[in-house]
Amino acid sequence: QGNTIDLSCRRKKSRFAMGMRVELATDPDNGSESIPALLHDVSGGGVGVWCRRQFSQGTALSISDGGDSNWISGTVRHSSAGTDGYLIGIEFDETVCVEGGSASDETASNTRKSKSNRHGNEGRSRFRCPLLVARIAKGSVTGLVIASAVYVGLRFLDFEIFANEIAVGFAGAVIIGIGMGLLGARRETRFLSGITSAVDAFRATGEFPSPPTRNHDALRSALLNLATHHQQRAICDHIEQQKHVDTEETKSGILSIVSSDVRRPLEAIQQHAQVLREEVDSLSRNARLDLIETIAQEIHRIAEHVEDLDELQRLDAESSHNAQESTESCNLTETIANVVELFEPLAGERSIDLRLDSKGELPNVIASTDNVARVLKKLLANAIEQTQAGGAVIVEAAESSCELRVCVSDSGPGIPRERWSEAFERRTHGGSQEADRNHGQMLGAYVARRIVEAHHGRIWLDSEIAKGTTVCFTLPTVDTPVDEPQITDGLSADSRILVCDSDPELAAMMAQALRARQYRVTLSHCGAQLLQLLDNEPFDVVVTDLQLPDMGSQELLSALHSRQEQGFRTIVHSYDEHARDGAKTDVVAWLRRPANRPRLCEAVELATRKRFAHGKTIFMLEHGSLETRRLRTALEQAGHVVMSGVSMKEIQRLLECYSCDFLVLPDGAIGGDWNKLAELSFGEASQTQAILLVDEVRRSERSFEEQFNARAVAYRPGSEETVLAVIEPETVAAMSCA
């Protein structure tokens, strides 16, 4: 289309080799300015050289091997000091001249494709010609050797041989040898062509084609492993980048909190100090004392904010080093009473009824009394601040389900449901200053949550507009076992989880369990806030209840399905078992509410693995009759997600909770009785196929395959490819055709 390509500057790689001496010049026409250099590296688009002279990035530089006057132009892309001078990276120029104005994007694309095809054809001819010559030479030599051996044998046996017969024999042997060489060259050329076409297809489409021959299968597996490695590297880089973004957001959030919580006390101090300075002579002694007392209180509030920041820094440092709180067994009866007594004068000044309701003897807990006192002080201070004169603040403490529960209730204005989760977040979410003033709970509430969760407890609030707010926190008792923090694998760690549940206590339990495994959790308590968070922030997994106060189950599932292009995985946590029948298939797990901590963490781990994997979901029964560890490893290396069960009951639970593609069972698990497969409930819409691992596939077993939607596969440790062939039938079909 009117395009011409100038190839005068194209590099011939055969001219260069690592370690050879070359010459550099900024002006090739002036030979006296040439600079000697040592070739360090040869790559596809340029070279690296050691040079005594430094060149800045972007400098036009030419290189020659000194054999002739043909200089190759390039540009300096890298320059750094080293032990042998300066390491200079030079990228060669590739000039494309377009006649008649600038080319369109389509023309440029066609030009790039033609260049790519030309280089590909040159590469093919580059390895085909030497291979063909080598094969012909090898075949000729082989034929001559065979003919010579026959001739020597016949002479040794005293056969009379004529010259014509000798010539014909030698010529025939050479021809046969050349033919055998050509056949061998054809096979090798086909193999190399298959590699080239696979790489070209991957470069063009980003997907690996099926192997054209069996010999290419190992190469394909190696390329898949390489692609998986690069994918994991990309995910890790994304996680590190997200950590950096979160750190910046945290800094800006803390600055926002400080500017909001500290600015108001400073403004009050400034106003009262100005009044005191201007009216000191006209004010009475009591008025001056009131102003001074107000200033002292505001200074105390600022000191508390600074103390919160110090506490937050300490908690972050302990979290980054996986340190645990220094705790001991203690009884908090006296601690709670002392904190309530400390706030009685303040409540009395505001005509607020402050009461302590302690039901029965409080159990001992593993906690730090100072930290628990700090949490209770923050909750009481906020409750009194939000309660108007004539209202009431009630503190309740009692044992509940092997834990100590402490609740602080006020009769203030209340908090809307969509703002419940914001109370315990590190940063604000765009609320106005008036809203922050009314709803309190900012940095202090976040620090309180961090302290409670560091003691393996949880904290939440429940509120109703115009009726008040109740904030509760729990701590495990001495006899209650606690889950030690567990670190997830590199791909799942730091995944962002969005938990939505109408019950604030249950949502707090799920959030605490996931945060203990280093997941980053955001809470929501209504459908509108859930969808708003999904539209504003990236999440990896969504764990949601279907019975939300503002949205029906089908409406919520449809809204989540329409946002699947955002890349998150969905886990449903609900009482409604019938919603699964009409739901979309993009739900990873269905957990019956309330799910315990191990089941919740198991589902979230599976969802994060499915997000990063590109293969199938496979359930495998670990049965003592067959060693399947090698098979599990092979399946995971092929990019599939594998979950194990130790019994048929456990496999049934997995089938009820999760969507899967294949179920792998050793023959010993059913004892040859295929009817046991019918006892497993796969669901009406399930596409799960069972794979039965047997020693030998017999005719009787083939007859059951269609009846039970199962496949009998002969498997022994070391023959994992037979199972992979069933899971990846398209690969086997391509190999069979080849």
Q: Which residue has the higher pLDDT, 583 or 251?
A: 251
pLDDT at 629: 82
In whole angstroms, how far apart are CA 205 and each of 28, 39, 44, 197, 616? Answer: 42, 36, 22, 12, 21
Q: To 10 degrees, what angle do helices 597-612 and 504-515 make? A: 60
Say if residue 567's pLDDT is above 70. Answer: yes
Q: pTM value?
A: 0.64
pLDDT reported for residue 428: 45
Q: Residue 3 has what pLDDT?
A: 39
pLDDT(472) > 90: yes
Cβ(689)–Cβ(709) below 8 Å: yes
**Are the CB atoms for 654 and 583 separated by under 8 Å?**
no
In this prediction, residue 69 carries a pLDDT of: 55
Specify which residues 303 forms β-bridges with: none
Q: What does the pLDDT read at residue 523?
A: 93
Given this model, what pLDDT does residue 214 score?
53
What residue spans of 387-525 are helical by DSSP H? 433-439, 443-454, 504-515
Integer Cα distance of 604 and 4 in angstroms: 57
In the predicted structure, residue 5 carries a pLDDT above the cut 60: no
* Mean pLDDT, range 77-92, rounded to an integer: 79
Summarize pLDDT for 523-553 with one digit per residue, the tens.
Answer: 999 999 999 999 988 898 999 998 899 998 8
Per DSSP, the residues of 575-609 read: S-SGGGTTS-TTEEEEEESSPPHHHHHHHHHHHHH
Residue type, 360: G
Buried b or exposed e, range 611-634, using 16+ CB within 10 angstroms: bbbebbbbbbbbbeebebeebbeb
For residue 577, the model assigns a pLDDT of 64
Mean pLDDT of 423-437: 53
Give the range among 75-84, 114-123, 163-172, 662-671 with minimum mean pLDDT: 114-123
Judge whether residue 172 has pLDDT over 90.
Answer: no
Range name among 110-119, 603-612, 614-623 with the lowest pLDDT average: 110-119
| Higher per-residue confidence, 186 vs 563 | 563
pLDDT of res. 4: 37
Lowest mean pLDDT among 195-209, 433-447, 562-576, 702-716: 433-447
What's the pLDDT tens digit per position in 95-105? 433 333 333 34
Q: In what order do the strands lie in the sheet with 496-500?
A: 520-524, 496-500, 541-544, 569-574, 587-592
pLDDT at 136 over 80: no
**pLDDT tens by residue, 30-46:** 655 778 888 877 765 78
* CA nearest to 313, candidates 131, 406, 443: 443
Return the pLDDT at 105: 44
User: What is the predicted pLDDT for the residue at 469?
Assistant: 93
Q: Taking the chain, what is the end-to-end CA distance rounded to the nearest angstrom?
A: 39
- 507-528 tens-digit pLDDT: 999 999 998 888 889 999 999 9
Q: Decide if 420 contacts 525 (C-beta within 8 A).
A: yes
Helix, strand, coil percentages (3-state) for the chain, rounded to 5, are 50, 20, 30
pLDDT score at 118: 47
Query: What is the pLDDT averaged over residues 52-65?
Result: 83
Q: How far apart are CA 253 and CA 259, in angstroms?
A: 10
Give the strand pairing for 46-51 and 60-64. unpaired
Higher pLDDT, 161 or 375: 375
Strand 617-621 versus strand 35-42 pairing type? unpaired
> What letter would DSSP give residue 490?
T
Q: Would you state the pLDDT for residue 624?
A: 72
- Supply φ then ψ for residue 625, to 5 degrees: -75, -10
Strand partners, 22: 37
pLDDT exceeding 70 applies to what percent of the chain? 67
Q: What is the DSSP letter of 715?
A: -
**Residue bearing tokens 């004892």:** 671
**Which pLDDT band holds residue 696 (cuts at 50, 70, 90)?**
confident
Q: What is the mean pLDDT of the chain?
A: 76
What DSSP element (H or E) covers 123?
helix 105-156
Determine the pLDDT at residue 132.
Answer: 61
Is pLDDT at 1 greater than 50 in this prediction? no
Would the pLDDT of 264 be above 60?
yes
pLDDT grade for 408, boundaries at 50, 70 and 90: very high
Q: What is the CA radius of gyration of the chain?
A: 38
Exposure string of 31-42, with b = 16+ CB inside 10 Å and e = fewer, is eeebeebebbee
Top-confidence residue, 341 or 19: 341
- pLDDT, tens digit (0-9, with 9 covering 90-100), for 631-652: 888 888 777 888 888 888 888 8
Minimum mean pLDDT range among 19-23, 111-115, 589-593: 111-115
The confidence score (pLDDT) of residue 440 equals 39
Q: Cβ(414)–Cβ(393) under 8 Å?
A: no
Does the pLDDT value for residue 401 go beyond 70? yes
Give the highest mean pLDDT range of 73-87, 308-322, 467-481.
467-481
Residue 563 CB burial class (10 angstroms; 0-12, 13-18, ≥19): middle
Q: Is the pLDDT of residue 185 over 50?
A: yes
Kind and range of the H or E run holding 459: strand 458-464
The answer to whether 570 and 560 are in contact (CB under 8 A) is yes
- Tell me what pLDDT residue 684 has: 52
Query: Taking a C-beta distance cutoff of 8 angstroms, is the pair 446, 374 a contact?
Result: no
Q: How many residues does the chain have?
A: 738
Which residue pairs, CB below 8 angstroms and at least 24 apart, start in 221-230?
A: 221/638, 223/198, 224/638, 224/639, 225/637, 228/637, 228/639
Of 665 and 67, the structure prediction assigns the larger pLDDT to: 665
**pLDDT score recorded for residue 505:** 92
Chain centroid to CA 544: 20
SS3 78: strand
Query: Residues 6 or more apart from 58 whose CB is under 8 A from it?
Result: 75, 76
Alpha-carbon 341 to chain mean position: 49
- Give residue 461's pLDDT: 92
Which of 225-239, 452-466, 474-488, 613-627: highest mean pLDDT?
Answer: 452-466
In a 3-state reduction of DSSP, which class is residue 328?
strand
pLDDT at res. 587: 86
Contact predicate 666/672, CB 8 Å? no
Question: Quick check: 319 and 449 in contact, CB under 8 A?
Answer: no
